Structure 1
Amino acid sequence: MDIKQIAGSRNDFQLVRHLTVTGSQFEIGRALAEEARRLGWAPVPGDPVVNRARMAWFERHWPQHHARMDGAAAVLGLDPNQDDLVLDGQYGLPVDSGCSALWCPPSASSDGHGRIGRNYDFFTSTTGEVMGGAATPGELPMAARPHVITTLPDEGLASTVITMMDLDGCMDGINEAGLSVALLMADVATAEPPQDSTAQVGLGQLHLPRFLMDTCENAEQAKQALLGAKQYDHGLPCHYLVADASGRAFVWERGSDGREHIVDLGDGPLCVTNHLLHRHPDPMNLPEDTELTFDTFRRLRTLHERSKGVTMSPDDLRESMRAVQVDADPAKPWRTTWSSVFDTADRTLSTRFYLGDGPDGPRYTEEVVLSAAR
């Protein structure tokens, strides 16, 4: 595994490392588990009955992840069939976040490239502070050490992803076929985290984007994969923007009643923030924001107004994402911790990472351009 520091420093809010991992899925899983263990990860106890069912589900529906978990077991010197420990889900799921994303299809792009603009907004606090307590000595903010991970398997789809915490999950990414996925909190005003946060059978939030990038090449395959996949909430509910190189895109949501929804606007821009689109389908008829909504409705209206009926250049897309970026307000303990543009034609992601607040507002790195192409 090759590890490079690509952005920030220990004197900045974020220090970002890029991990490039090659080999079989087993070897990739072993390398990522070794790095996770170096960072402090250890497996947690699990219900043997549930774990056996989890492994059977992965083997049938997501064999890439199953093989990587076997690699993690090898790092720990465990029998891969041992079923009393959970070998994935390294670190925890963020408890809250507010994000914005805008899909600009090829038909609305100045150069014919489909692109996703994406802001990942998150707290600048430590885990202890987010949970209502105090930071422990030496504890870093939850978003202080993101990783970019490029996996180049001997067999299967290569991908490049960004993760805030879990090395075997991610918040967003793109694969070598051009399929891009971004995770956003789904219902910021009313959602409550589940009482049971243990791993269940199927896909938790941070695994779902990786699952799609490992197993799908386009949006139609992704729809079928999601409709056939068992899913659960390991934290607050999320929804997902999925787009492909052909120009197709949709948002995947699950309602509080357990029903699944595909929001597909066809050949047009698609804006996503932190409310369920199937509940609020008309961007011109949204509620007003409250203290609990993280400006989700204002952000979506802004993105809709900037993208409706226009041709967008890459710079136009970037300016639109800056228009909904979190300001450096001391009263707001969250920032846009990274802002990315995913180019589904070039199979690249270009990202600015948050370094801290300056006299003129938030400070960011220059764009770091990474590729999922071999």
Structure 2
Amino acid sequence: MKKLLSFLLVSCFIAGCGTAALAKNANPTIVTNEVLVAKEADTYLEVRHIVLRGTNEEIGKALGEIAQEWLGINKLGTYAGPIYAEARRQYMKKNYPILLERMKGVAKSYGLSPTDNTCVTSGLYYDISIAPPGCSAVFFPAGSTTNGHNLLGHNVDFHTATMREMMGLERIEGDHNLYSRDFVLELYPDKGYPSIVVGALDLLNGFQGGMNSEGLIVALLEDDLGTPNTDVNPLGDDVGGLNMLQLDRLILETCATVEEAKVVILNNKLVAGFLPGHLQICDRFGKAFIFDISPNDFSYHFTENNGQPQVITNHSIFLHPEISKFPPYSPKATYNTFYRYVKLDDYVKDHQGTFSPADVKEAMSLVYAHTTDIAERSVGPLPHRTLWTMLYDIDERSLEVKFYLKDGPTDPATGDPSLVFTEPFRFKLTKTGN
């Protein structure tokens, strides 16, 4: 674990190559780059709203510039050797040409050749490498909703701590808390579907939830019971294939339906990350599936929604398909993945009539994270909070999101704090599908 931590910290803060001076607001690809939520002395996070429009190379260059200006990513990570860089480019040329073009743009933003064999340009990582959050989500197909729209509610939860603190070490000056520098990123490329995502950790690929102009949503959640990658490089740069964030972005940019998403998953090599993850993918036709990876043989499994609302938390659905056979858990363990699943499942089953957008928000509020516990492979108990909560309306191509600011008054019954959020922000994509 210490070996892995050393790699993560080096890749995010220290080792690297390439740097470039920036001319402020000089890039016409950057339509918007503004502070959406400012970090205050008593609040947890900051959020940027970024809108980019141009070729994929231009988008990559713009993201590289913003990564330097905002996140202080002044140096890129390095490959173990030139052969890995060449293999990376060949893989992307065949499987993900959109990212290959963006890699060229990232290289340009750091003053590098697009065929540079030293620096890793396939990610703009910061604060931590690949770490799916603990989350909860529920998909409501159009037939189950009041407005006849397909809706998804999604909470993104994580420890309010640094990577070092998760590993049981003391934080040092300059460390940023995990998920404390977040973004709402809209991309309008010349090739690939336009999209809007909310994310952190990797400005080039990273998001924890997003929707494209065709009405396809990808939601990323941690699988608490999965098998983590303890290799020194969980990013995939030296072993080939895509890490989970890159796979998510590939799906969002090239798929209009859940069936197309399955094909992309099956046709790509996935590199397991530091924290294992699983996906919920849904489309404008009311179809959804959960993608799980077996911790035993790493086989892929798809669980369909079959026209019904579908709940997902932080355990493999294919391994635990029946609530009556869930492992035992304390009724006080409100962040336990099985507790949250049952809470959401009960809400769906007990609800009378169809679900309104307000009902979706209420459901997600029942499983907010506001405890101190061990999760996300932390070595000891740490504060755990819902950092943002989202409501998607697929038919409108709209996203409503609010962000965690700080703890509120303590609940005397539980001893846990309430959560203070921003007012909701609302965004809307231009439709391309029906």
**TM-score of the pair, normalised by structure 1:** 0.94
Paired residues of 2:335 and 2:371 also in contact (CA < 8 A): no
Match of 2:328 among 288, 292, 299: 288
1:228 and 1:172 mapped to 2: Cα distance? Answer: 22
Paired residues of 1:347 and 1:373 also in contact (CA < 8 A): yes
Pair 1:365-2:405 in alignment: no
1:24 and 1:190 mapped to 2: Cα distance? Answer: 37
1:68 and 1:248 mapped to 2: Cα distance? Answer: 31
Q: Which stretch shifts more, 363-372 or 316-325?
A: 363-372
* Aligned match of 2:260: 221
Relative distance call for 1:124 and 1:355 in structure 2 (3 A) is same
Unaligned runs of 5+ in 2: 1-29, 374-380, 411-417
1:138 and 1:209 mapped to 2: Cα distance? Answer: 30
Pair 1:150-2:180 in alignment: no
* Aligned match of 2:317: 277
Relative distance call for 1:238 and 1:96 in structure 2 (3 A) is closer
Match of 2:72 among 40, 51, 54: 40
TM-align CA RMSD: 2.1
Relative distance call for 1:96 and 1:252 in structure 2 (3 A) is closer
2:102 and 2:133 mapped to 1: Cα distance? Answer: 28
Q: Deviations over 1:245-264 (max 9, x none)?
A: 11111011111212011111
Name the amino acid aligned to 1:173.
G
Match of 2:165 among 116, 121, 129: 129
Name the amino acid aligned to 2:151.
R
Name the amino acid aligned to 1:266.
N
Q: Deviations over 1:292-329 (max 9, x none)?
A: 99410010011111113752111111000000001266
Pair 1:262-2:305 in alignment: no
* Aligned match of 1:327: 370
* Aligned match of 1:211: 250
Q: Deviations over 1:22-55 (max 9, x none)?
A: 1100000000011112222221111322322221
1:55 and 1:237 mapped to 2: Cα distance? Answer: 25
Name the amino acid aligned to 2:33.
I
Q: Deviations over 1:153-205 (max 9, x none)?
A: 1232100111122101211101111110110001x146333223242322211
Name the amino acid aligned to 1:36.
A
* Aligned match of 2:378: none
Match of 1:253 among 284, 292, 303: 292
- Name the SS of the counterpart of 1:267 in structure 2: coil
Paired residues of 2:370 and 2:384 also in contact (CA < 8 A): no
Relative distance call for 1:234 and 1:84 in structure 2 (3 A) is farther
Pair 1:351-2:394 in alignment: no
1:132 and 1:263 mapped to 2: Cα distance? Answer: 36
Name the amino acid aligned to 1:317.
V
Unaligned runs of 5+ in 1: none
1:96 and 1:160 mapped to 2: Cα distance? Answer: 18
* Aligned match of 1:6: 36
Paired residues of 1:328 and 1:357 also in contact (CA < 8 A): no
Residues 151-166 of structure 1 mapped to structure 2, 5 A cutoff: 151-166=187-202
* Aligned match of 1:236: 275
* Aligned match of 2:49: 18
Q: Which stretch shifts more, 48-57 or 165-174?
A: 48-57
Higher-Rg structure is 2
Number of residue equivalences: 373
Name the amino acid aligned to 2:248.
P
1:124 and 1:7 mapped to 2: Cα distance? Answer: 17
- Name the SS of the counterpart of 1:146 in structure 2: strand
Paired residues of 2:287 and 2:305 also in contact (CA < 8 A): no
Name the amino acid aligned to 1:26.
E
Match of 1:108 among 123, 130, 144: 144
Alpha-carbon deviation of 1:88?
2.3
Q: Which stretch shifts more, 304-313 or 50-59?
A: 304-313
